[in-house]
């Protein structure tokens, strides 16, 4: 099979998955996670449910679009193995994308089967949504580098990268931690809405509040700290690895993160309306993609897009 169109398809699969992620956030924010009951993969015991409630259609649509996302990634995997030679980075990226979209489906199923939806405010739900968030970010990362490598980007390695590798590794871990705190904060906003900013601040610091409310303060503090870290790390990386691509992605990352901070403050001020939660999540995904691409370009190793790479045997996850 020829490679013509693969790059476009790979970026298209990434964009589609971003749309599915946003719809999944809407399912959580609108309280529609139990729209199909405790059935999975069926919806209220049916393949195609007779929806009497809006929540059922919202949840069913999310399952349908998620199923299509899985099929699209399977197509990416098959196409990659037919179009690219053994040990090519695109094959590796497509394989990891398939692994993480399968685990994405399994984690989503666990949320439903264990009743960790709707008004469930347990510690287990917080743990599982944290796992879900990390898995989603890793899926997005592998889809991103697969498309990047298909377009001619060189494979990357964290080996012998010195300060640059350490800074970018720290940034990736920090972004995952920020995403986890963001997911927990969004869950707290959904389950424990407030009528004013003053009430929200009071409940955040009250020892009598639910633990999901008390954890909300961590996210904005970590966001400011990570933002400063990313600006410094991006400046060091772009000054050390002075390629046009590295400089462009470092600049894009800084701009997106500043916009994200502004939207985050607005989200707090407006008491987290659903539409703004979705904008906030989209920006978080775009920040993550920019960081992944900055890492991919800064840690790139010389390699032909048509020849097997000797780095592939030990190619690490972009999250390590």
pLDDT confidence bin for 35, thresholds 50/70/90: very low
Average pLDDT value for the chain: 86
Q: Work out the percent of the chain whose per-residue pLDDT is above 90.
A: 68
Domain coordinates in residue numbering, the chain: 1-155, 158-300
The pLDDT score that the predictor gives to residue 44 is: 45
CB-based contact 80:118 (threshold 8 Å): no
**Size of the chain in residues:** 320
What's the whole-number mean pLDDT along residues 289-318?
62
pLDDT confidence bin for 26, thresholds 50/70/90: confident
pLDDT tens profile 81-111: 999 999 999 999 999 999 999 999 999 889 8
The pLDDT score that the predictor gives to residue 228 is: 94
- Residue 96, Cβ density class (10 Å: 0-12 exposed, 13-18 middle, ≥19 buried): buried
What's the whole-number mean pLDDT along residues 215-232?
94
44: left (phi over 0), alpha (psi -120 to 50) or beta: left
The pLDDT score that the predictor gives to residue 112 is: 83
Both tokens of residue 145? 């580098």
What is the model's pTM? Answer: 0.86
Of 81-95, 110-124, 276-290, least confident by mean pLDDT is 110-124
Assess whether pLDDT exceeds 70 at residue 67. yes
CB-based contact 284:260 (threshold 8 Å): yes
Assess whether pLDDT exceeds 60 at residue 48. no
């Amino acid at each position: 099979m020829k490679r013509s169109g693969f790059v476009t398809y790979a970026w298209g699969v990434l964009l589609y998955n971003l749309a599915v992620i946003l719809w999944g956030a809407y399912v959580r924010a609108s309280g529609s996670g139990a729209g199909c009951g405790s059935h999975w993969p069926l919806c209220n015991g049916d393949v195609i449910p007779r929806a009497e409630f809006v929540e059922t259609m919202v949840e069913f649509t999310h399952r349908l679009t998620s199923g299509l996302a899985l099929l699209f990634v399977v197509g990416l995997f098959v196409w990659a193995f037919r179009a690219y030679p053994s040990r090519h980075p695109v094959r590796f990226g497509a394989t990891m994308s398939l692994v993480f979209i399968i685990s994405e489906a399994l984690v989503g199923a666990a949320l439903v089967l264990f009743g960790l939806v709707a008004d469930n405010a347990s510690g287990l739900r917080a743990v599982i949504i944290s796992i879900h968030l990390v898995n989603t970010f890793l899926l997005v990362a592998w889809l991103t580098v697969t498309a990047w490598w298909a377009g001619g980007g060189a494979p990357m390695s964290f080996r012998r990268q010195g300060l640059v590798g350490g800074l970018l590794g720290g940034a990736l871990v920090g972004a995952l931690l920020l995403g986890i705190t963001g997911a927990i904060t969004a869950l707290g906003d959904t389950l424990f809405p407030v009528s004013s900013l003053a009430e929200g601040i009071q409940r955040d610091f009250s020892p009598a509040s639910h633990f999901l409310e008390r954890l909300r303060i961590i996210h904005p503090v970590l966001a400011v700290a990570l933002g400063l870290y990313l600006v410094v790390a991006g400046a060091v990386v772009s000054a050390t690895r002075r390629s046009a691509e590295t400089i462009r992605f470092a600049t894009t990352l800084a701009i997106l993160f500043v916009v994200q901070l502004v939207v985050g403050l607005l989200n707090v001020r407006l008491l987290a309306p659903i539409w703004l939660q979705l904008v906030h999540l989209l920006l978080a995904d775009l920040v993550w993609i920019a960081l992944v691409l900055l890492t991919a370009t800064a840690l790139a190793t010389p390699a032909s897009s048509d020849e097997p790479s000797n780095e592939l045997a030990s190619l690490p996850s972009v999250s390590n």
